[in-house]
Amino acid sequence: MAQILVVDDEVGIRELLSEILSDEGHSVQLAENATAARSLRAQRRPDLVLLDIWMPDADGITLLKEWATGGQLTMPVIMMSGHGTIDTAVEATRIGAMDFLEKPIALQKLLATVKRALRAGESRAVMPLSIANFGRSMIIIELKKRLARISSAGTAVLLRGERGVMPELYARYLQQPNAPWIDAAHALNEASQDLLQQVSSGVLFVGELAMLSRNQQKRLAFLAARAEKSNVQLVSFTAEEPKHLVESQGFDAALMQALAGIVIALPALREHPEDIPEIATLMLAQLVETRFCPPRNFSTGALNVLRYFTWPGNLEDLAAAVRNLALTSLEEEIGVADAERVLPQFARRSTETDLSLDLPLREAREAFERTYFEHHLAQVNGSIARVAERSGLERTHLYRKLKALGILAGRKED
């Protein structure tokens, strides 16, 4: 049967749960606190974790976040609490917990919840990347707050950003715990009232508006007109300028207006480079956890190389680079040489930028300077000394210039 880890600081509850689950034929491991749970999780991936929220050394929510950000939340987790709140349950579910049990736990509810979680865990692949599990930068922290604020508004949301930003990550953050989710990529081939009933109280997501045919636009307009009444939040994305979509590509103007109830700008990866090491580490841990590759880890130097790269293809390119490194690196530790070997294939815009010549002179100059310094930082692994030498600027002047351009560079001197 299943391998179940029970984490609770109360010995009586641990023993009771162990006895019940063992009688059901499961193999049970016990941890009295977060420290013991970390150790057991590091040794082996359990099929299921029953995790208490209130513990003396670290609370269960903190431990859940650690597993999520470390790529170890690849098994279903059921949270337990004797005095839980709705807010706590929502937070735990948003992080990645599958369910929530309130103490004292009724026997039948325990067994039913465990059975349901194990069944879901059997088909559970790698846990998808989630913005709930990363975000040291202020730009992501503030964006998550804004998304959380509008997640229950019911208003149509239009996400805007560059290609490769993985808009579904941000759209998923709008989804309420356990609410339905439908990707409209195939659903728009035959839109109907039944579709709205299926996704009621949930999210209907459209990945790229520019890819929709005329017929799909008509079906989307049908759904958009009825979405709010059916308690469906319609979330769409485009990397194109909406005005350009309408005027040059014939996109329906009334539909665009209906989709843009709230417009949210998604950041390019180069705008929050301090998050790159955390995201790359999480991506790699997930690949290792699901046996996509042998055990791997990044060296600090390799993470710095990834951080100072410009990533023209944003998160999609970063994910592709991590997969490449996971499979082609010859050593367990992925080093600087490996990162530098792989990155050139993703540097397709290093000599060709998206700089618009229609900008005012000052904005165009700033855009060029930003691209120029980001390019050279990536080329020299973030070395301020070498960029100063290449650009002919004194270092203090260079630091001021980078700060003014919004480029977050560490004080790396060599």
Cα dihedral: 216, 217, 219, 222 (round 10) = 170
Lowest mean pLDDT among 10-24, 35-49, 102-116: 35-49
Question: Which one has a higher pLDDT value, 36 or 42?
Answer: 36
Angle between helices 60-69 and 86-95 (to 10 degrees): 20
Question: Phi, psi at residue 277, to the nearest 5°?
Answer: -60, -40
Question: Which one has a higher pLDDT value, 84 or 179?
Answer: 179
Q: Which two tokens stand for residue 143?
A: 């964006």
Question: Phi, psi at residue 82, to the nearest 5°?
Answer: -85, -15
Rounded alpha-carbon distances, angstroms, from residue 410 to 11, 377, 407: 48, 10, 10
Cα 268 from Cα 291, distance rounded (Å): 30
Give the pLDDT band (50/70/90) at residue 348.
low
The pLDDT assigned to 179 comes to 84
Concatenated DSSP letters of 81-126: ESS--HHHHHHHHHHT--EEEESSPPHHHHHHHHHHHHHHHHT--S
- Tens of pLDDT, residues 52-70: 998 888 889 999 988 887 6
Give the pLDDT band (50/70/90) at residue 87.
confident
Cα 51 from Cα 77, distance rounded (Å): 7
Half-sphere exposure of 400 (CA within 13 A, CB side): 5
The reply to whether domains 138-267 and 270-346 share a CATH topology is no
Question: Phi, psi at residue 225, to the nearest 5°?
Answer: -70, -20
The pLDDT assigned to 414 comes to 47
Mean of the pLDDT values across residues 42-56?
A: 87
Give the pLDDT band (50/70/90) at residue 395.
confident
CATH superfamily of the domain spanning 3-122: Response regulator (3.40.50.2300)
DSSP lists the bridge partners of residue 48 as 4
Buried b (16+ CB within 10 A) or exposed e, 129-147: bbbbbbbebeebeebbeeb
Classify domain 270-346 by CATH architecture: Orthogonal Bundle (1.10)
Contact at 8 Å (CB) between 174 and 151? yes
**Closest residue by Cα to residue 243 from 231, 251, 233, 235:** 251
The pLDDT assigned to 198 comes to 85
Cα 106 from Cα 111, distance rounded (Å): 9
- DSSP collapsed to 3 states, 131-145: HHHCCCCHHHHHHHH
Question: Phi, psi at residue 136, to the nearest 5°?
Answer: -85, -25
Which is it for strands 297-298 and 262-265: parallel, antiparallel or unpaired? unpaired
Cα 75 from Cα 263, distance rounded (Å): 35
Domain boundaries, the chain: 3-122, 138-267, 270-346, 361-404
Place of tokens 């009444």: 229
The pLDDT assigned to 350 comes to 42
Classify domain 138-267 by CATH architecture: 3-Layer(aba) Sandwich (3.40)
Contacts of 389 (CB under 8 A, 6+ apart): none
Question: Which one has a higher pLDDT value, 51 or 193?
Answer: 51
